[in-house]
């Protein structure tokens, strides 16, 4: 739903038509859409009075209303690139200046696969572009790729999750050459034609059958890579249970309700929603049903140095808590995390720690994860594994400013520092 927020902030947008079911509106979207698009007119439509079955209606393309149908995402982006280049040629041929590209925006509800494809498609077409991605960990691309891995496993190796993983520029196979995008697109089409819905056994059977019959030769490299990845990643499915067996609480970071449900089934004790219940409308209801504690983390699509970061964090938490309340999540199950390093400049991350006490007004436990973050490098340049001193300083001050939970890499050293700080403070 957050892409509608992006639409509202795009210059030049005059009208936006939205269609939402009662279930979607009841998830907290109703309130948020009025916050994002004030003055929105509502029309209630009783679908059952018109037709007892869903109907897909595709309007005919006209000069003022273009509609396109594509086989896959890559073809869709290639079509956009061709239209942009054709438009520039038309203007140039008529002696006119081509329209500036900074006035063109391509907005997707699920942008993940498009983000990866845009680099190669628009790059090959020579079209300059910039992305405003909504990855849960956009500031940490490798961590974002890990989210794809969890999604792939949690979804039982479905086609869409598989293709998104293969297209990730951060996911490679150590024993083979990179898989080109044409093979991946061909694999996507072949799996669709084979009505592949998921499950590793079915994927392996298709691989064996196609190679034995000499079919779909162009997809063999991608298919072999996909099967290898699935077999390797299948080990992730039971990984949480052994950790739970150690007798320690296990927390899983995600913004996807499917991953949260999978983690809950595996025995996870807490879910950290890295988009604060605001990216997946099914997340809040799932967290209400399973009763697990949920960490509501602040995040932003893009960094804005001019932003009043504390005001933005407070407004974000207010929206998240309204969603949680509507879904029935108990307040004693919620923790707030200012999201150090996520959608923030180094200076804003420092400010969020320094003014952490301001967030105590929400009356909920505060969590801070500043370990090895980039703002430390900004103050005292050092690679991540050499930021222990800065990490300890940030966490000690976070606790002094009201943090009830901290997330660290170097546990023993941080515990020692906190014990010493607490003892000294007790005599102050």
Q: What 8-state DSSP symbol labels residue 122?
A: H
What three-state secondary structure class fits 230?
helix
CA–CA separation, 262 and 239 (whole Å) = 12
Question: Cβ distance 385 to 371 under 8 Å?
Answer: no
Q: What is the DSSP track for 6-70?
A: HHHHSTT---------HHHIIIIIHHHHHHHSTT-------HHHH-SS-----PPPBTTB-----
Distance CA 343, CA 364 (A): 22
Longest distance between any two alpha carbons in the chain, whole Å = 80
CA 3 to chain centroid: 12
**Is 167 an annotated catalytic residue?**
no
To the query of whether residue 300 is one of the catalytic residues in this protein, the response is no
Instruction: Give the number of residues written for the chain.
Output: 428
**Phi first, then psi: what are they for 423, rounded to 5°?**
-65, -45
Q: Which residues pair with 296 in a beta bridge?
A: 273, 336
Rounded to whole angstroms, how far apart are CA atoms 206 and 189?
13
Give the active site residue among 333, 407, 419, 425: 407
Distance CA 262, CA 283 (A): 12
Where would I find the beta strands (DSSP E) of 78-170?
A: none
C-alpha 408 chain-centroid distance: 22
CB of 360 within 8 A of CB of 402?
Answer: yes
Residue 181's closest CA among 118, 106, 110? 118
Whose tokens are 């498009």? That residue is 114
The number of beta carbons lying within 10 Å of the beta carbon of residue 245 is: 9
* Tokens representing residue 254 in the block: 């995600």
Catalytic residue among 32, 344, 373, 387: 373
Closest CA to 289 of 245, 243, 246, 324: 324
**Active-site amino acid positions:** 373, 407
């Amino acid at each position: 739903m957050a892409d509608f927020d992006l639409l509202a902030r795009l210059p030049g947008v005059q009208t936006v038509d939205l269609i939402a079911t009662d279930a979607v509106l009841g998830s907290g979207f109703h309130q948020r859409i009025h916050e994002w698009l004030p003055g929105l007119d509502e029309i209630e439509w009783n679908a059952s009075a018109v037709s007892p079955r869903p109907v897909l209606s595709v309007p005919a393309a006209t000069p003022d209303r273009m509609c396109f149908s594509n086989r896959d995402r890559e073809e869709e982006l290639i079509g956009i690139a061709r239209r942009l280049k054709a438009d520039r040629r038309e203007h140039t041929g008529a002696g006119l200046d081509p329209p500036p590209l900074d006035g063109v925006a391509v907005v997707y509800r699920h942008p993940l696969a498009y983000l990866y494809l845009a680099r190669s498609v628009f790059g090959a077409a020579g079209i300059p572009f910039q992305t405003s991605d909504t990855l849960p960990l956009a500031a940490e691309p490798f961590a974002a790729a890990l989210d794809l891995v969890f999604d792939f496993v949690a979804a039982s190796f479905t086609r869409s999750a598989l293709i998104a993983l293969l297209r990730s520029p951060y996911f490679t196979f150590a024993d083979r050459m990179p898989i080109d995008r044409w093979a991946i697109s061909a694999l996507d089409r072949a799996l669709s034609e084979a009505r592949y819905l998921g499950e590793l056994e079915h994927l392996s059977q298709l691989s064996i059958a196609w190679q034995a019959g000499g079919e779909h030769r162009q997809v063999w490299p991608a298919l072999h890579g996909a099967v290898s990845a699935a077999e390797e990643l299948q080990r992730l499915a039971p990984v949480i249970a052994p950790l739970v067996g150690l007798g320690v609480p296990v927390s899983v970071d995600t913004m996807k309700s499917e991953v949260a449900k999978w983690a809950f089934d595996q025995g996870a004790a807490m879910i950290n929603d890295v988009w604060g219940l605001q990216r997946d409308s099914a997340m809040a209801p799932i967290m209400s049903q399973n009763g697990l504690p949920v960490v509501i983390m602040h995040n932003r699509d893009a960094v804005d140095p001019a932003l009043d970061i504390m005001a933005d964090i407070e407004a974000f938490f207010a929206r998240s808590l309204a969603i949680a309340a509507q879904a029935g999540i108990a307040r004693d199950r919620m923790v707030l995390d200012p999201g150090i390093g996520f959608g923030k400049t180094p200076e804003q991350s420092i400010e969020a720690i320094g003014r952490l006490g301001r967030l105590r007004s929400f009356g909920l436990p505060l969590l801070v994860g500043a370990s090895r973050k980039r703002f430390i490098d900004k103050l005292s340049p050092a690679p991540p594994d050499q930021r222990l001193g800065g990490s300890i300083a940030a966490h000690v001050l976070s606790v002094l400013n009201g943090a009830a939970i901290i997330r660290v890499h170097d546990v023993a050293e941080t515990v020692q520092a906190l014990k010493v700080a607490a003892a000294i403070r007790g005599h102050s």
